[in-house]
Amino acid sequence: MPLKNRLEVKLILVILMLIISSTLSYSHNDTTKNLDLSAKYYENLKTWPNKFLNLNKNSSTGKGIKVAILDTEVKFKTVNNLKRIHYFLSNDNANSFIEASTHADQIVSIINSIAPDAEIYLVVVSNKDGKIKENDLKNALDWLTKEKVDIINMSFGFNSAMSKTIEPRLEKLYKNNTVIVAASGNEGISRVNYPASSQYVISVGANDYSGQKWINSNYGTELDFSMPGVQIIDKYRQIYVDGTSFSTAFMSGMIAKLKEKHHNTSNKDIYAKLIQMTPTHKWNPLNGYGIPTF
């Protein structure tokens, strides 16, 4: 049974909220800002997502869980349990020398900090400029099906669905009990990007430290949940970053914790558990079901 419930009530809610207030172009569209290095502010900034999500209340470490991250290459390869790096970049989409930390470095760092014993499979489908070819993504998903990973993190988005190539592969992974998590997008529009919009994917938007929707987080009928995505510390570059990419990583880390003790739990039950972990268990188009916490 698909994750999303596409009832007409969702469309009605979107309309009400609005009244109240392929190879497609792909981009992370995450933003960066310099740190305020005043000691107290900086320390609070480093830990706010963990405190907000009550991550310390769950002692699981993701042991025995395989988490695949489809992203750029990494600059730093000394992260705990980085088991494999597999490349699916076409020759004409290959990277030149990487001089600084990458988007994938930050995603890997977040997931590893939440679930340090999870096995990380980095699958390189994007060059350092954020370009992904449809065929590379298709091949990567085929490989991950064979690898039988537990979670797939996709912190990227396209403007349109790839119904003939990617969607059938997402369906197959979903039926094989792989949890797929993707970013809603950073344009601040009432449309969730693909593959987050797929019925086989958990879509994640971004909230700030007050629990409010980040202004640039995409929203709408296909949004499932929100997670911290504002003023997230990039430990490699000593800056903070905003974006649904990072919200997606927090969700993948949380699911790795959940699946450690319930490895064979169905995707449907994981989804239901996440809803149960939100404050109200009610859906709205701006935040989905809201923010699950331990």
Q: Which amino acid is at 283?
A: W
The closest of 102, 145, 138 to 121, measured between CA atoms, is 145
The two tokens of residue 228 are 């911290």
pLDDT band at residue 23 using 50, 70 and 90 as cut-offs = very low
**Better-scored residue on pLDDT, 77 or 183:** 183
Return mean pLDDT, the chain. Answer: 88
| DSSP per-residue codes, 66-84 | EEEEEE---S----TTEEE
DSSP secondary structure string for all residues of 100-168: S--HHHHHHHHHHHHSTTSEEEEEE-B-TT--B-HHHHHHHHHHHHHHT-SEEEE---BSS--TTTHHH
Q: What global pTM score does this model have?
A: 0.88
**106 pLDDT higher than 80:** yes
Write down the number of H helices and E strands in the chain: 7, 10
Determine which of 48-57, 125-134, 189-198 has the lowest per-residue pLDDT on average.
Answer: 125-134
Q: What is the per-residue pLDDT for 234?
A: 86
pLDDT of 15 above 70:
no
Range with the lowest mean pLDDT among 92-101, 125-134, 159-168, 207-216?
A: 92-101
Residue 12 predicted with pLDDT over 60 = no
**Which residues is 207 bridged to in the sheet?**
213, 228
Residue closest to 143 by CA, chosen among 93, 86, 207: 86
Rounded Cα distance between 114 and 145, Å, is 24
Q: Residue 20: pLDDT above 70?
A: no
Residue given tokens 């800056």 in the structure block: 239
pLDDT of 237 = 83
How much is the pLDDT for 98? 67
pLDDT at 236: 85
Q: Helix, strand, coil % (nearest 5) of the chain?
A: 35, 20, 50
Average pLDDT over residues 39-56: 77
Instruction: Output DSSP code: residue 177.
Output: T
- Least confident stretch, 78-87, 113-122, 136-145: 78-87
Answer whether residue 25 shows pLDDT above 50.
Answer: no
Each residue of 143-182: pLDDT tens digit?
Answer: 999 999 999 999 999 999 999 999 999 999 999 999 999 9
Range scoring the smallest mean pLDDT among 88-92, 97-101, 160-164 = 97-101
What is the per-residue pLDDT for 21? 40
Q: For residues 227 and 247, is the Cβ–Cβ distance under 8 A? A: yes
Q: What are phi and psi of 197, to 5 degrees?
A: -75, -10
pLDDT in tens, 65-83: 999 999 999 988 878 899 9
**Structure confidence by residue, pLDDT tens digits, 219-261:** 999 999 999 999 998 888 888 899 999 999 999 999 999 999 9
**pLDDT at residue 184 is higher than 90:** yes
Q: Please say if the pLDDT value at position 42 is more than 50.
A: no
Structure tokens at 203: 């879509």
Cα separation, 34 vs 93, in Å, equals 30
